Amino acid sequence: ESGLSTERFGRHLTVLAKTDSTQTEAEKRAREGAPEGTLVVAEEQMSGRGRQGRVWHSPPGRGVWMSAVLRPEGPLTAVPQLTLLAAVAVCRAIRTVSGVEAGIKWPNDLLADGRKLCGILLEAVIEDGRVRHCIMGIGIDANLEESDYPEELRDKVTSLRRESGAEVDRSALIAAVMNEFEALYALYAESGFDPIRSLWESLSVTLGREISVRDARGERRGIAHSLGTQGELMMQTENGAVVPVYSGDIELYPG
C-alpha cells in the first residue's frame, strides 16, 4: 500500500502510460461529472503545460505528472488561494516523503537550493461567473536525472533524487500529496484562508527577498513583504509603498 488515507482525493484514479497532458484528461472527466478528488496520473506527457503558456518538460518514468478535479464551493476569488493551498500541500508531502527541505516561491513553485523541482498549475473553468470546476495540475521532478533535462534548463532545475541522493517512492509521494491536500482543503473550508496563509508564509523562500515582478504593467523591483488576505503578494517598492501583485511571475535575487 502506498499510504493513501483520504476519503475522496485519489480514490478515483486513472494511471496512463502516455498522454498529451493530464490536465486535458482530468478536465474531460470533470466535464463528464467525475467526483471531486478524481486523479489522473501519467508516466509521460507529450504536451505538458506550465503556467503563462509555457511548456512543461515531462519525460517518461521518473516524474510525478498528475491532475486532480476540484469542485470548490466558494467564489472566483478563492482560486488564487487554492493555488497557494496546493503549494503548501505538496511542499509538506515532499518534506515528509523525501526529507528535502523544499520551499515555496510565490505563488506556487517549489524550490530546493534555489532550483525549481515542482510546478503547479490550477486551471479554473468558469461558467456564468462561477467556478464550474478546477483542475489542479502538479508536476514533481521526483527521480529525474540531469540527462533528463534539455541543456538550457539544467542549471535552473533539480529533482528530489538529486537533492536527497535517494530514489523517491512515487506512489508514496502521490499518496502523501493527496493526504495533505485533503486535510488542508477541509481546514480551508472550515476556517478560511488565514491558517493556510500562515502555513504558506512559514514555508516561503520568497518573503524578505529582493524580487522583480513581470506582469501586464511591465517590470518592477522591490522586497517581498507579506502575503495579502486574498493570497496576493505584497511588495515593498523603492519609495516604501507596499503594493499588491496579483499575478505574473517573479524573479528572486540571490541573498
Residue 63 beta carbon to ligand BTN: minimum distance, rounded to whole angstroms: 8
CA torsion angle 176 209 233 204 (round to 10): 10
Q: Binding ligand BTN by CB under 6 A: which of 66, 88, 100, 196?
A: 66
65 binds ligand BTN (CB under 6 A): yes
Closest residue to ligand BTN, judged by C-beta, is 119
Q: Which stretch binds ligand BTN (CB under 6 A): 8-16, 44-52, 84-92, 193-201?
A: 44-52
Residues 88-117 that bind ligand BTN (CB under 6 A): 109
- How many Cβ atoms are within 10 Å of 76's Cβ, its own excluded? 12
Q: Which of 3, 50, 192, 195 binds ligand BTN (CB under 6 A)?
A: 50
Could you tell me the sign of the dihedral formed by the alpha carbons of 145, 147, 151, 155, in that order? positive
Taking alpha carbons only, the member of 187, 200, 216 closest to residue 88 is: 200
Q: Helix 78-98 to helix 194-203 angle, to the nearest 10 degrees?
A: 50
Closest CB to ligand BTN among residues 67, 204: 67
> Hey, what amino acid is at 227?
L
> Interface with ligand BTN includes 248 (CB under 6 A)?
no
Half-sphere exposure of 86 (CA within 13 A, CB side): 30
Site for ligand BTN, rule CB under 6 A: 21-23, 45, 48-51, 54, 56, 58, 65-67, 109, 119-121, 137-139
